[in-house]
Every structure is written in structure tokens, then in C-alpha cells.
């Protein structure tokens, strides 16, 4: 089935039922890995808002939730490699275990930028949890990338928080651009 978003057409790639199952698996993995700690989950807005909500609901341990806002696509369908810092953390992260929660790692530039920025504040550890990874698009290797929901091809996707020109975030599954 074709779904129009803005001036483009999309088709279903990952149904919500599959996302739900995978998010629960990631939550269990995080619970096991951080059993004796109280991590800070840092959602990267805007794209991760649905993912972090579902993830946190599935984690049965104490976590803190906070957000930063970064932008890098600016309305197109490929990375500009320019990062705009819209808002920063408001908590002290020195000595804390951070889990950066992202919708998608594409070139890796956004995540690399954020990790370098946060490292200076001396957190105890940084791990990255991304719903989607495009392995063929990665330009900067992220060694902190510990939790990956799904690996996808180098295609433009929307849905479950991800947008095309601010549309499509409310779609429940992940949809890929039809060629």
C-alpha cells in the first residue's frame, strides 16, 4: 500500500508489532546490563520521542529521562552533515551512566558530535541505543553503539517519530520511500 507524505510516496517496511517486540527485547537487554545502576536515558529530539516513550515503559527499573534537541536533515532526504544544536541537557551528568536514545544512525555524524560534546562533562559511561541503523551509510564509526533495533538499507524512511519535512512522525510503523 502506498502512503503519501508531503510530495513523496512511502510503503511499509517494519510493522508496529515488530517494533513493539524489538523494543521490549532492547529494554530487557538494558535492564540486564544496568541491573545495579540508575542510568540516565537521553532522548534525542525530535525523532526519538515515540521510541524512548515505548522503551522506558518497558524498562522495569529506575531510570531518569531527559532530552537534547539536535537537527541535521533540514527538510531533505539526505544528511547535510551540518548539525544544529537546539537545546542542551539541563542536568549534571558527571559520574552518571548515559544511554543516548536515537531514532536512527545514518552517517553517524550527529551521534559523534553529541558524544564528543557530552564526554567533556565526565559521565561515568556513554552507550547508544538506536532504533534504526543504516550500516551502508555510516561515515563515522560509533564505538558506543551498543543497542540497535533494526539494521536497514540506505533508504529514506519515515514513521514512528521519523519525519519528512515534519510530516509522517505519527505513522505507527516504519515506511520506506518508494523508488
Total residues contacting ligand IMP by CB under 6 A comes to 18
Least Cβ distance, residue 22 to ligand IMP (angstroms): 17
Q: Which of 99, 129, 131, 157 binds ligand IMP (CB under 6 A)?
A: 157
3-state secondary structure of 78: coil
* 173 contacts ligand IMP (rule: CB under 6 A): no
Q: What are the distances in angstroms from CA 27 to CA 22, 32, 54, 91, 101?
A: 9, 9, 9, 23, 12
Q: Which of 14, 100, 103, 175 binds ligand IMP (CB under 6 A)?
A: 103
* 106 contacts ligand IMP (rule: CB under 6 A): yes
* 108 contacts ligand IMP (rule: CB under 6 A): yes
157 with 175: CB under 8 angstroms? Answer: yes
* 10 contacts ligand IMP (rule: CB under 6 A): no
Q: Where are the alpha helices (DSSP H) in 47-174?
A: 49-58, 109-119
With contacts defined by CB under 6 A, name the span among 27-35, 59-67, 98-106, 121-129 that binds ligand IMP. 98-106
In the bound state with ligand IMP, the residue whose beta carbon lies nearer, of 34 and 128, is 128
In the bound state with ligand IMP, the residue whose beta carbon lies nearer, of 34 and 52, is 52
- Count the residues in the chain: 179
Separation of alpha carbons 66 and 98, rounded Å: 10
20's torsion region: left (phi>0), alpha (psi -120 to 50) or beta? alpha
* Residues of this chain that bind ligand IMP (CB under 6 A): 47, 72-73, 79, 102-111, 156-158, 162
Amino acid at each position: 500500500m502506498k502512503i503519501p507524505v508531503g510530495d513523496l510516496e512511502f510503503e511499509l517496511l517494519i510493522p508496529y508489532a515488530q517494533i513493539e517486540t524489538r523494543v521490549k527485547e532492547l529494554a530487557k537487554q538494558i535492564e540486564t546490563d544496568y541491573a545495579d545502576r540508575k542510568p540516565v536515558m537521553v532522548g534525542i529530539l525530535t525523532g526519538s520521542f515515540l521510541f524512548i516513550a515505548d522503551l522506558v515503559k518497558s524498562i522495569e527499573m529506575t531510570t531518569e529521562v531527559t532530552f537534547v534537541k539536535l537537527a541535521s536533515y533540514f527538510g531533505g532526504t539526505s544528511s547535510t552533515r551540518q548539525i544544529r544544536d537546539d537545546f542542551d541537557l539541563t542536568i549534571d551528568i558527571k559520574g552518571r551512566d548515559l544511554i543516548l536514545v536515537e531514532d536512527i544512525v545514518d552517517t553517524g555524524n550527529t551521534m559523534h558530535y553529541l558524544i564528543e560534546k557530552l564526554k567533556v562533562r565526565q559521565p561515568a559511561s556513554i552507550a547508544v541505543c538506536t532504533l534504526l541503523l543504516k550500516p551502508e551509510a555510516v561515515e563515522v564509526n560509533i564505538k558506543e553503539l551498543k543497542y540497535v533495533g533494526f539494521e536497514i538499507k540506505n533508504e529514506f524512511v519515515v514513521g514512528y517519530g521519523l519525519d519528512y519535512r515534519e510530516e509522517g512522525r505519527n505513522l505507527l510503523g516504519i515506511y520506506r520511500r518508494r523508488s
